[in-house]
Structure formats: C-alpha cells, structure tokens
Structure 1
Amino acid sequence: MQTRLIDLIKDTPEGKEADAILRSCVHCGFCLATCPTYQLLGNELDSPRGRIYLIKQMLEGQEVTEKTQLHLDRCLTCRACETTCPSGVQYGHLLDIGRGMVEQKIQRTPYATFKRYTLRKLLPNRTLFSTLMDVARLGRPLLPAHLKRAIQPKPATARNLSGKAHTRSMLILDGCVQPALTPNTNHTTARVLDRLGISVIAAQEAGCCGALAYHLNAQEEGLSAMRRNIDAWWPFITRSENPVEALIVTASGCGVTVKEYGHLLQHDPIYAEKAARTSSLTRDISEVIAAETATLIPLLQTANPSSKPTSPRSLAFHAPCTLQHGMKLKGKIEPILQAAGFNLTKVADPHLCCGSAGTYSILQPKLSRQLRDNKITALTMENPEMVATANIGCQMHLQGGTSLPVRHWIELLDESLGG
C-alpha cells in the first residue's frame, strides 16, 4: 500500500511505525473472513481492511470524524486478522496508533468521557473494586439471572501463595480484577508449581498490567502502569542470588500486554532495556506447565484417586483471542487438560472472539452480547459438562450467558493433582 503521510506525523516514531505497517498491507481481504465485527455487521469499515484505510486517510491529512472514531471503537482488538494475514500486517499496533490520534482530534460526549474515565480508575484499583464487588454480592439475590451468574458468590478463602522454598522461583502477576473475582486462580497456580518444584513470588507493588488504560486511549496512563510494574519486578529479576526464571501471567489478556512492554516502551530511554528484558521473561502459565510435562505426567498418574474424575468429564475449552492470536499459543492447553483426564468436545469457529475484549462488553454491549451468544452456542454444540478458559475477562463474560460452570483451566489441573 502506497502512503503519503503528512509532515506532522511521518518522522515521529509512531508515524514511522504506522507507515511501515500500512505499506505491508496488500489489500488481499483475507482478514474479512475472520473479523468478528465484519461477520456481524457486514460493513467493510468494520473490518481490519476498512479500519486500515480510515487510519491511512487520517495519517495523510484527510478529515477525521465521529464516524472514524465509531468504527475504530468497534474493533475488539482480537487480532484474529493477524493470524490469517499472509503479509504479517501488525494491525493491533496500527490500531493503537490510530486510536490515540483520533482521541486527540475528536471530543467524546461528556457521558462517554465519564464512562471511560470511571473504568480506568475503578477496575485497576484492587481495593475499591473488591469493596464494590462485596456490595454487589450482597444484592445478588435480587439480580436477574444473567447478572447472578456473572457476579459469583465470594470464593472460599484462598490459601497463601507461599509454600515450600524451592531453588527455582518465578514471579506472578496478580492483576487488577482477578484477585477480587477469582482469587483462587493464582493460588491454585502456586500449588501446581509447588508440586513441580517452583516457588511463586507476588510483588505487592505491582498492579494492573496497563492494558486497560492503554486500550481506552489513555496511553500515557497505561505506560505509567507498565513502568510501575517493571519497578516492582526489577529487584527479583536482577537479584544476584536465585533470580526468577520467569514472570507468570494467568490472564492471557494481561499476558499479551506484558509480552509487549518491550515494544510499547522501546522509545523510553530509561525503561526500554528493562521493558525488553521483562517481556522476554514473561510466560503464560500454559507455557510454563507445558515445559514441565515430564514432571507433571507422573504426578497426574499418582494423584489421589479420590481426587480424579470417576470418568472422563466432557469439557469445552475456549481459547481466548489474546492466547491464540495475541501470544500465538493455540493448542498449548488442550493436551494438558487431556492428560489430566478430560474429554474435550468440539468447538465451532474457535478462532472467533467471545465479545469480552477487556471493557468492550461495557462500551459495546449489543455487539458483545451477540458475540457471546454465538460463542456459547459454539462451545455447547456437543453438550459439555463445563467450559474452561484462560482469561478472567472471558471467564466472567461467558459465565454471564450460560448456566454451565465456566472455570480457569489451571484450577481444573490443580484438582486433578489432588488440590
């Protein structure tokens, strides 16, 4: 694709990156077949190719309107288009650049501005969010069925992360909403890794990965959260004795962002090198478990029989977009669940997004619900007993639309090991 970027942007780091991405696009249209919003709306401007044209026009100095903002807002950033693109177009990075520029040119309504500001300040604040969730649970009996499913009863008190001291150690990202919604996810992760001879460390000063603010176009706010996390993890990464082997993330939505810290902070003279090293150490929990298969399989075989399924349970696995398209880890978890004794049912169109996509379900509720309903139909086509996933956002979103239990897969593995 030929480009003629305006002088104001073409020599900036963002302009150079955008220009390179635009030039890599050959207009082939393969992306249309895998774009969830295009499948629903049938409008080319709600496809990756259409949005690329909108961003290109803006960078070339053409008028930017609320319509431009609308079509960019509707993108889920699922990155399924990147998986199918034969030219390797880095669409997600281009979209971030385009959205950031549109935010500076088009003023949102006071209500839309307030809603986005509230999401940025509420969700990453673990103390405030936990308090509000406790209040919501008090009123849970009065809520409609779909909200009752989404707002789960408070989990049993999770065990402390600390276990036996092992020679091997890894950091873990607590995240922002996950500790309030499903605190057992990280605690079961710690128990599984303890059995594999790995200690798990949580840096208390670390918080939200920064994705929430960054993808709500408060990009500097998101970058500040990333720098704070790096500062919290750095002493463990660089300590002279027993430095951590990896930084584990159990929410794939966070994992794909932390793995891109190096890219997002590449122009920061203070944090560029630290960010690159942090990203290089980041692992989704599935990568860690898959690398320990030789130790895991005997543990599964000798686990307390009473803790195992009496017969293989049928399970539908939902692979979050951030796992399969963002981190390119498709097919990593399914063999682990099968080794743990689960029968995996078929899932139609597994590449399509469930509609959660961070705050998308709040900001684009109609499209999000359509996508969720389609995904639940695809997941339940062979009548599984439960659904497993690898991301807290997907887990809560799907649970709001089905009476089947929706759980994080690591919790199921922990139970199969006798947890």
Structure 2
Amino acid sequence: MQTNFSDSQRQQPHIRQAEKVLRTCVHCGFCNATCPTYQLLGDERDGPRGRIYLMKELLESHDDDDQITDETRLHLDRCLTCRNCETTCPSGVEYHKLLDIGRAEIERRAPRSMADKALRFSLRKALVEPARFKSLLAMGQIFRPLVPGALKDKMPAPAATPGKRPDGRGQPRQMLILEGCVQPGLSPNTNAATARVLERLGIGLTPTPQAGCCGAIDYHLSALEAGRERARRNIDAWLPQLEAGCEAIIQTASGCGAFVKEYAEILADDPQYADKARQVSNATLDLVEVLNREALDSLTLKADQRLAFHCPCTLQHAQQLGGAVEQVLDRLGFELTPIQDAHLCCGSAGTYSITQPQLSKQLRDNKMAALEAGKPEMIVTANIGCQTHLASARRTPVRHWIEVVDEALVS
C-alpha cells in the first residue's frame, strides 16, 4: 500500500511504525473472510481492510484537517482486536500495531464525550486492582437487580471456595505466575488448580506479590503510557526472581500472556527497560506451553468428561498456540468434540463486551451454538474473559481447562 506521509511526519516514531505496517498491506481482502464483525455487519469499514484505509487517511491528515469523524471512531471501536486477520493475512500485516496507533491518534485529536470517557476510566480503575474488583463484584452480586443491563448479564454467581493451594516452595523447580486482576475474584480456583497440577510434576510457584495487572486493559483502552508503566512495575518484580533461578512466568489467562509476551515490543524504545522487557517476554509461557513440555505420564487421571474447547483469540491468533490445549487434553485422555468455525471470536475481547454489548452478545450466541453442537458436558477455555462471557449465556457450564484436569487427577 502506498503512503503519503510528509518528512516531518516521518520524524515521529508512531508514524514510522504505522507506515511500515501500511506498506505491508496488499489490499487482497483475505482478512475480511475471517473478520467476525465484517461477517456480522457486511460493511467494508467493519473489516480489517476498510479499517486500514480509515487509519491511513487519519494518520496522513494534519491536526487541522477535518478528517476525524464519529463514524471513523465507530468502526475502530467495533474492532475486537481478535487478530484473526493476522493469522489469515498472507503478507504478515501486523494489524494490531496499526490499530493501537490509530486509536491513540483519535483520542489525541478528537476526545470522546464525557460519558464515554467516564465509562472507560471506570473500567480501567475497576478491573485492574484485584481487591477493588472483588469488593465491587461482591456488591454487584448483592444488588444485582440494580446493576445496568450490560453488566448485569455478565454478573456471575459467587465463585465456589477454591481447593487448597499448595505452597510449592519446596519443589525442585520453581516458576512464577501472574495472579491476574479479575480472575482471583471470578474464578479463584484456576490458579489453585494450576498449582496442584504443577506440584504433581515437581514444579512449585514462587509468589511475587509485587506484580500486578499486566497492563493490557489500560493499553487497549488507549491509555498507552499507563499500560507501559504497569509493564515496567511487573518487570521490576519478576526479573530478580528469574535471575535467581525461576524458570518461567506462567500465564493462566491467555489475554495476559499475549500482552506480557509483547512487553519487548511496547518498551522497545525505552532505553532503561528494552533489554529487561525482552528477558521477561522470552521467559513468559502460557500454562499449556509448560504442560506440553512435560512428561505427563506421571499424571493419573479419570478423564471421563466430554469437553468442547473454546480457543481464545489471544491464544490462537496472538500467541499462535491454536491446537495446543486440545493436544494436552487429548494426551490426558479427554474426549473433545469438533468445533465449527473455531477460529472466530466469542465476543468477549477484554472490555468489548461492555463497550459493544449488542455485537458482543451476537458473537457469544453464535459461539455457544457452535460449541454446544457436539453435546459436550462442559465447555472449557483458557482465558477468564472468554470464560465469564460464555458463561453469561447461562447454558452449558464453562470453566478453565486446568480445573477440569485438576479434578480428574487420581490421588
């Protein structure tokens, strides 16, 4: 794709990065064939190719040009950032990088309404601190009839008390784990189950209480510097432990894992953190990568459940780990049902299910129909956002896959 940036524009790092992405695109349109919003809406501007043209026009224009419209913002906001288009693209267009730049440019040049700003600020503050989120969740569960519709649909019943979590520090091998922001409140057994399964494999989890939110929520709500600052704090918490001998940083939420693996990219221009970020990104593994590397023969299971696995977009498109969880579950003896259109997003997409509730619900219902077609007893997934969103349909039970593995272990 040809670009028309001025020499002065090319002096800006974000324009140079955007131009690199834009020039990779060859207009082929293969991306539209796998774009969930294009499939629902049939509008070129709601597919990756159309959004790329909108962002090109936006970035090539000058601040005083009247090129920024509510319509442009609408089509960028409707993007799930599922990155299905990147998996499909034969030219390797790094669409998500361009989208982050385009969204940030719109925020700079055409600020949102006060109501929209308030919603996004509230989401950033409510979701990133586990203690605050737990308190808000408990209040929401008590006063559920008063909760606004989009949030009420996602309000789960109180989580069951998690099983005992082993200390793990006496194990010969040690790894770190990102506890997460909302997962401890919504699914507290996920990390406890992870610790129990890993203990069977001789792996303990070294606590790192200084680590917090991965930064993805801030970053993808166009608060880029706030997201980078959270990344720096986590790097400072993890790096000494890695240098002391911890093997890896485990992620049980694929959305967090995808973002932590990109610390090296988002901090590439930070002279103090660029090298540290590379070390952390290189040490980050999704839980399934850990189990795939282990000899699982030592695990004895009673794997008698019929499962449907929903592969989150952040696992299959961002981390390129499609099929990895299915491989582990198959090795452990679980029966998996076939899933039609398994590449399509469920509509969760971080905060998308709150900011775009109508589209999100359509995608959720389509995904549930595909997952339930094989009559599974349980739907399992690898990301707390997908888990909560699919469970909000209140149909087939939905859990993290490691919980099902943990419960199937024979003592």
Q: Matched residues in 2 for 1:9 and 1:288: separation? A: 44
Q: Matched residues in 2 for 1:5 and 1:332: separation? A: 42
1:202 aligns with 2:207: yes
Give the counterpart of 2:80 among 67, 76, 82: 76
Contact 1:172 1:248 in 2 (8 A): yes
SS of the aligned residue for 2:174 comes to: strand
Contact 1:313 1:342 in 2 (8 A): yes
Q: Which residue of 1 aligns with 2:337?
A: 345
Contact 1:313 1:341 in 2 (8 A): no
Q: Which residue of 2 aligns with 1:396?
A: 388
Residues 248, 105 of structure 1: alpha-carbon distance in 2 compared, 3 angstrom cutoff: same
Q: Matched residues in 2 for 1:372 and 1:133: separation? A: 22
- CA offsets, 1:131-150, max 9 Å, x none? 11122333459999x95874
Q: Matched residues in 2 for 1:148 and 1:44: separation? A: 30
Q: Matched residues in 1 for 2:269 and 2:257: separation? A: 21
Q: Structure 2: give runs of 5+ residues left out of the alignment.
A: none
Q: Which residue of 1 aligns with 2:23?
A: 23
Q: Matched residues in 2 for 1:174 and 1:161: separation? A: 15
Q: How does 1:195-344 map onto structure 2 within 5 Å? A: 195-239=200-244, 243-292=245-294, 294=295, 296-300=296-300, 303=301, 308-309=302-303, 312-344=304-336
Q: CA deviation at 1:8?
A: 4.4
Amino acid at match of 2:271: P
1:9 aligns with 2:16: no
Contact 2:154 2:389 in 1 (8 A): no
Q: Matched residues in 1 for 2:385 and 2:76: separation? A: 21
- CA offsets, 1:309-342, max 9 Å, x none? 5xx3211100000000000001101122123332
1:354 aligns with 2:354: no
Q: Matched residues in 2 for 1:183 and 1:407: separation? A: 11
Q: Which residue of 2 aligns with 1:98?
A: 102
Give the counterpart of 1:373 among 360, 365, 371: 365
Q: Matched residues in 2 for 1:127 and 1:397: separation? A: 21
Residues 282, 369 of structure 1: alpha-carbon distance in 2 compared, 3 angstrom cutoff: same
Q: Matched residues in 1 for 2:218 and 2:322: separation? A: 27
Amino acid at match of 2:326: E
SS of the aligned residue for 2:5 comes to: coil
Q: Matched residues in 2 for 1:160 and 1:408: separation? A: 16
Q: CA deviation at 1:160?
A: 3.5
Q: Which residue of 2 aligns with 1:115?
A: 119
Q: Matched residues in 2 for 1:404 and 1:148: separation? A: 16
Contact 1:261 1:278 in 2 (8 A): yes
Q: CA deviation at 1:418?
A: 3.3
Q: CA deviation at 1:234?
A: 1.7
Q: CA deviation at 1:11?
A: 2.1
- CA offsets, 1:218-253, max 9 Å, x none? 1111111111111111210122xxx11110000001
Q: Which residue of 2 aligns with 1:89?
A: 93
The alignment of Structure 1 onto Structure 2 pairs a total of residues equal to 405
Q: Which residue of 2 aligns with 1:170?
A: 175
Q: Which residue of 2 aligns with 1:32?
A: 32
Residues 77, 161 of structure 1: alpha-carbon distance in 2 compared, 3 angstrom cutoff: farther
Q: Matched residues in 2 for 1:118 and 1:226: separation? A: 20
Amino acid at match of 2:94: Q
More deviation, 58-67/249-258: 58-67
Q: CA deviation at 1:154?
A: 2.8
Q: CA deviation at 1:58?
A: 1.3
Q: Matched residues in 2 for 1:72 and 1:335: separation? A: 35
Residues 161, 120 of structure 1: alpha-carbon distance in 2 compared, 3 angstrom cutoff: farther
Q: TM-score, normalised by structure 1?
A: 0.93
Q: CA deviation at 1:414?
A: 1.1
Amino acid at match of 1:252: S
Q: Matched residues in 1 for 2:80 and 2:404: separation? A: 28
Q: CA deviation at 1:186?
A: 0.7
SS of the aligned residue for 1:96 comes to: helix
Contact 1:262 1:279 in 2 (8 A): yes
Q: Which residue of 1 aligns with 2:142?
A: 138
Q: Which residue of 1 aligns with 2:195?
A: 190
- CA offsets, 1:36-56, max 9 Å, x none? 000011111111001111111
Q: Which residue of 2 aligns with 1:179?
A: 184
Contact 2:264 2:281 in 1 (8 A): yes
Residues 149, 101 of structure 1: alpha-carbon distance in 2 compared, 3 angstrom cutoff: closer
Q: CA deviation at 1:157?
A: 4.1
Amino acid at match of 2:118: F
Q: Matched residues in 1 for 2:152 and 2:126: separation? A: 19
1:48 aligns with 2:52: no
Residues 161, 5 of structure 1: alpha-carbon distance in 2 compared, 3 angstrom cutoff: farther
Q: Matched residues in 2 for 1:65 and 1:352: separation? A: 29
- CA offsets, 1:199-226, max 9 Å, x none? 1123101111000010000111111111
Q: Structure 1: give runs of 5+ residues left out of the alignment.
A: none
Amino acid at match of 1:387: I
Q: Which residue of 2 aligns with 1:65?
A: 69
